[in-house]
Homo-oligomer: A and B are copies of this chain.
Amino acid sequence: MASVGIVGAGTAGLHLGLQLVQAGIPVTIYTNRTADEVGSGRLTNSVAHHAVTIDHEDRLGVNHWPVAEFGYDSHHHYFGLPDPIVFRGDFARRSRAVDYRIYQPTLMADFEDRGGKIEIRDVDVPDLQGLSERHDLLTVASGKFTLGQFFGPAVGRTPLPGPLRRLQVGLWTGIAPNDPKGVSIAASPGNGDLLEIPIYSFQGHVTALLFENVPGGELEKLVDVKHDDDPKAFRDMVLEVLRTHYPLTYARVDEAAFGLTDPKDLLQGEFTPTLRNDYAQLDNGKYVLAVGDIHSTLDPIVGQGANSASASAQVVGDAVLEDPNFDLRFMQKVADRRRNRVEAAFDWSNLMAGPPPAHLFQLVGAMAGDQELLNEFTWNFNYPDRQWDILATPERTAAAIARSAASKGAPARA
């Protein structure tokens, strides 16, 4: 029986670990934080899990947050042009967001209850060789910078020179939900985007506001102004940004109730989206496999990080069960199988976070008059590879628009 070591206890590490213990494989997860520390720590993100990820949670027996209660139905789009564009895409099946300080400790407990081992320790590059000798397969599913350097930037891809967006995410009370319940995706052209996400946290159903701010735009203050210096001024600044840039969210704010749920429920910063190599070889000849964020660090603008991590973990889990020989052949098979999905999530996220190309505007324009195309775009948050089939080139976008129009008997392109 192959033994597997996993460095990191995020979605990739936990989903992989749970799949393998379910199959009776001994797994140890190495992480530097106990479940209690995760649970009592700072907000980590505001990511939603889409239906395909929740399906995998069902298979893993860890779907503790049924979508009927915790999920949402729609994407409410707003483009703040002089003549604003507003439309709504509906999911075929619900997505949901749960605070990772609840999600992750719960899955850590599930993992241990089912016989998985969690060892609390720091792991850095010099530790990998020793760990590799404890296990038949060692995977790294941690976001640690030096471990990322170990795998190195993906061969054949040009690294991004820096962050595409500067981020603030926090949990807030006092915002009435959308109807139907959903995520708001609002653009303030030239300044940034707001993702307003219904999320379940320690205080129940609250609202995550993820501000995706354009570097050099007027909303950078959301990242640079520090909350703890003057909590009241900070709240007023956020409220003012909603009022001036994101009016449809502002319209649902009850100012008397509006506030950060907790000083810890806030995160500010930026990073460079990065695609790294699938695997690297240690001096002892063994290969170490990258899974999740360490493999592809995504800007959160279309919320793909956790979903990509889960999908990637599943490819690895399936491969371990099929072919427990952890040599170069294994690594290459895993790389081939997940490349399209992982890279599509990366490329699509970068397209949405970067300067918008003309064909994105064309798609938006077409979706405003084509509910089917809009719902397909929405549903494709489950399938970034299909989304990238539509968005990878102007020709592909034009073909998707024409196809959708033709399917309705409307005139296609001349």
Interface status of A340 (Cβ within 8 A of chain B) = yes
Q: Which of A315-334 contact B (CB under 8 A)?
A: 322-325, 327, 329, 333
Q: Which of A322-379 contact B (CB under 8 A)?
A: 322-325, 327, 329, 333, 336-337, 339-340
Do B393 and A327 touch (CB < 8 A)? yes
Query: What mask results when residues 178 to 190 of chain A are scored 1 for a CB within 8 Å of chain B, else 0?
Result: 0000000000000
Do B329 and A392 touch (CB < 8 A)? yes
Main secondary structure of the interface of A (DSSP, over half): helix
Interface status of A225 (Cβ within 8 A of chain B) = no
Query: What mask results when residues 56 to 90 of chain A are scored 1 for a CB within 8 Å of chain B, else 0?
Result: 00000000000000000000000000000000000
A213 to chain B minimum Cβ distance, whole angstroms, is 31
Do A323 and B393 touch (CB < 8 A)? no
Interface status of A233 (Cβ within 8 A of chain B) = no
In the bound complex, residues from chain B placing their C-beta under 8 Å from that of A388 are 329
Interface status of A37 (Cβ within 8 A of chain B) = no
In the bound complex, residues from chain B placing their C-beta under 8 Å from that of A339 are 336
> Which residue of the partner chain, among B329, B333, B336, B396, contacts A325 with CB atoms under 8 Å?
B396
Interface status of A55 (Cβ within 8 A of chain B) = no
A92 to chain B minimum Cβ distance, whole angstroms, is 18
Interface status of A395 (Cβ within 8 A of chain B) = yes
> Which residue of the partner chain, among B323, B340, B399, contacts A333 with CB atoms under 8 Å?
B340
> Which residue of the partner chain, among B324, B329, B340, contacts A336 with CB atoms under 8 Å?
B340
Interface status of A389 (Cβ within 8 A of chain B) = yes
Closest to A325 in B: B396
In the bound complex, residues from chain B placing their C-beta under 8 Å from that of A340 are 333, 336
Question: CA–CA, A329 to B389, complex, Å?
Answer: 8
In the bound complex, residues from chain B placing their C-beta under 8 Å from that of A333 are 340
Question: CA–CA, A340 to B330, complex, Å?
Answer: 10
Do B323 and A389 touch (CB < 8 A)? yes
Question: CA–CA, A395 to B336, complex, Å?
Answer: 22
Question: CA–CA, A325 to B396, complex, Å?
Answer: 7
List the 10 closest pairs (A to B, CB-CB), nearest first.
Answer: A336-B336, A323-B389, A325-B396, A329-B392, A336-B339, A333-B340, A325-B399, A336-B340, A327-B393, A325-B389
Residue contacts A-B, CB under 8 angstroms, 19 given: A323-B389, A324-B399, A325-B389, A325-B393, A325-B395, A325-B396, A325-B399, A327-B392, A327-B393, A327-B395, A327-B396, A329-B388, A329-B389, A329-B393, A329-B396, A336-B336, A336-B337, A336-B339, A336-B340
Given A325-B395, A327-B392, A327-B396, 7 more A-B residue pairs with CB atoms under 8 Å apart are A322-B389, A323-B389, A325-B399, A329-B388, A329-B389, A329-B392, A336-B339
